[in-house]
């Protein structure tokens, strides 16, 4: 009898879930996407900037050029399917939705974002088999110290496609990224009075959102352009808490997670969606391999999925550190970040872009689809030769030490020590 085809149940039909669906389609692996919303294209008024690590994979999928607002058809998906429970059985896994529909498959992928149900179910299964495997500490690692008001404004004179602007203020920053059609994606990020640990959350009332927008109205974006100019041209906006955190457990048995469900960053370095895309591609490479094996033991499958989780997690550690530091520098969190933002960043643009470029170049991509023309040139690993980076880093460290020593001695003198 012919072996049944390997089937993946993807929970969540946003960036990570739909990218994985497209990757599996190309790999000829069966899948179903369960999405709780009824409309896959429903917009909440935000925009996402694509970086080379993300668009290289979208280009492999053949959808990069179609992305200007065009929906890409997915073979099989269930909309309005809010997944609530996952059950392991002798043949694989089943996912149940709130309408009590049951979906059977060989592997469940949680692409269901920061409030992931899949992640909670995975923790539950893991701890019921290996008590204490997922610690309380890990379960509370996602923490929000910032809130974000975001939207898309109609074009504003003085801000042009291709600009990318970050305006830094004490405890606030404004990110502005215009699209090709001159509409302008923006995000106003504000430090909260306290940290919120998931599932603890803070919903802003309408009045608070208005106050947040009004309070920023006079802030300068660029030259004569003020935040007010974007705010009054934005028909729809939303708010969200910006949780941050990189989880340790991405996989257990036949449940595996991808995207924001296990790796949540602020938008400051525009890597949440891009790394969700690369994670989906890395996972698709493994799933394709598994699906093509005539037989595979649970141990072998575990090792392969664990390999995906470990490699991707290791890679993202650096990006998380950069993202946290960028968020705090952009919001001038303390004297050190103010100093770095004012005197270090502007004079060391190459150091940052070289470090970032190297991380991007090393991103995974689909190993079963040739790279397209768009992604073949300019992807060399940056050469190590000029040594400017090391010199710059040494100078920066020396400047910080001197500044710290000066500030310490001034404080000591004023407190009479
Ligand atoms: C203002 C703002 C700007 C940003 N800009 C950028 C940027 O420029 N570049 C970048 O790389 N990143 C950016 N990000 C981050 C990016 O949006 C996220 O990293 C990305 O959306 C994560 O994708 P995801 O598919 O993992 O999760 P999500 O986008 O959160 O999607 C999860 C999906 O799962 C569904 N779902 C949830 N629970 C269930 C369930 N139980 N059953 C079924 N379906 C379920 C949800 O409805 C949703 O469709 C930005 C974020 C914000 C807030």
Gyration radius from the chain CA atoms: 23
Instruction: Identify the CA nearest to 268 among candidates 195, 350, 372, 341.
Output: 341
The rounded Å distance from CA 261 to ligand 1 centre is 9
Beta-bridge partner residues of 197: 143
pLDDT in tens, 301-326: 999 999 999 999 999 999 999 999 99
Of 33, 40, 77, 67, nearest to 374 by C-alpha is 67
Q: How far apart are the first and last CA of the chain?
A: 84
Pocket around ligand 1: residues whose beta carbon is below 6 Å from it? 11-17, 34-37, 46, 48-49, 82-83, 111-113, 117, 148, 150, 187, 240, 259-260, 267, 270-274, 276
Tell me the DSSP string of 101-148: -EEEESEEEE---TT-HHHHHHHHHHHHHSTTSS-HHHHT--EEEEEE
Name the residue of 112, 198, 240 whose CB sits within 8 Å of the most ligand 1 atoms, as the mutation to test its pocket. 112
Strand order of the β-sheet with 251-252 is: 77-79, 30-35, 7-11, 107-110, 255-257, 251-252
- The two counts, helices (H) then strands (E), for the chain are 11, 17
Distance, CA 275 to ligand 1 centroid (Å)? 11
What's the pLDDT tens digit per position in 122-147? Answer: 999 999 999 999 999 999 999 999 99
Enter the tokens of residue 339: 């100093």
Token pair of 7 as six digits: 């089937």
Q: Which pTM value belongs to this model?
A: 0.89
pLDDT digits (tens, 9 = 90+) for 81-91: 898 899 988 78
SS3 404: helix
pLDDT of amino acid 70 = 46
Tokens of 65: 């050029």
Question: Among residues of the chain, what percentage have pLDDT more than 90?
Answer: 63
Pocket test for ligand 1, best of 16, 34, 48, 101 (most atoms within 8 A of CB): 48
Q: How confident is the model at residue 71 (pLDDT cuts 50, 70, 90)?
A: very low
Pairing label, strands 77-79, 30-35: parallel
């Amino acid at each position: 009898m012919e072996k049944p085809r390997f089937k993946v149940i993807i929970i969540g039909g946003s960036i990570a879930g739909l990218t994985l669906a497209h990757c599996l389609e190309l790999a000829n692996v069966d899948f179903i996407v369960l999405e709780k919303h009824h409309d896959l294209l429903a917009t909440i008024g935000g925009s996402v900037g694509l970086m080379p690590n993300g668009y290289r994979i979208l280009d492999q999928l053949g959808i990069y050029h179609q992305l200007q607002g065009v929906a890409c058809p997915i073979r099989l998906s269930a909309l309005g399917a809010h997944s609530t429970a996952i059950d392991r059985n002798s043949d694989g896994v089943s996912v149940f939705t709130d309408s009590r529909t049951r979906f059977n498959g060989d592997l469940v992928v949680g692409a269901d974002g920061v409030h992931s149900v899949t992640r909670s179910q995975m923790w539950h299964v893991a701890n019921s088999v290996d008590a204490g495997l997922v610690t309380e500490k890990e379960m509370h690692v996602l923490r929000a110290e910032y809130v974000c008001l975001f939207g898309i404004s109609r074009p504003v004179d003085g801000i042009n496609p291709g600009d990318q602007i970050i305006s830094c203020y004490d405890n606030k920053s404004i990110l502005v990224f215009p699209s090709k059609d001159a509409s302008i994606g923006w995000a106003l990020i504000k430090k909260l009075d306290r940290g919120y640990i998931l599932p603890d959350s803070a919903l802003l009332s309408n009045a608070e959102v208005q106050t947040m927008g009004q309070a920023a109205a006079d802030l300068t974006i660029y030259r004569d352009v003020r935040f007010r100019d974007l705010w009054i041209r934005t028909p729809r906006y939303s708010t969200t808490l910006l949780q941050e955190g990189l989880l340790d457990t991405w996989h257990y048995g036949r449940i595996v997670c991808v995207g924001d469900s296990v790796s949540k960053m602020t938008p400051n370095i525009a890597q949440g969606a891009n790394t969700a895309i690369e994670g989906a591609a890395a996972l698709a490479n493994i799933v394709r391999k598994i699906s093509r094996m005539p037989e595979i033991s649970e141990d072998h499958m575990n090792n392969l999925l664990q390999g995906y989780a470990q490699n991707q997690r290791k890679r993202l550690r650096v990006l998380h550190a950069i993202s946290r530091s960028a968020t705090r520098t952009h919001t001038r969190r303390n004297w050190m970040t103010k100093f770095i933002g004012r005197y270090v960043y502007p004079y060391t643009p190459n150091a940052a872009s070289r470090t970032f470029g190297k991380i991007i170049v090393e991103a995974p991509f689909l190993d079963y689809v040739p790279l397209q023309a768009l992604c073949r040139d300019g992807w060399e690993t940056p050469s190590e030769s000029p040594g400017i980076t090391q010199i710059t880093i040494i100078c920066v460290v020396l400047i910080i030490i001197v500044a710290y020593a000066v500030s310490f001695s001034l404080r000591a003198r004023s407190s009479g020590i």
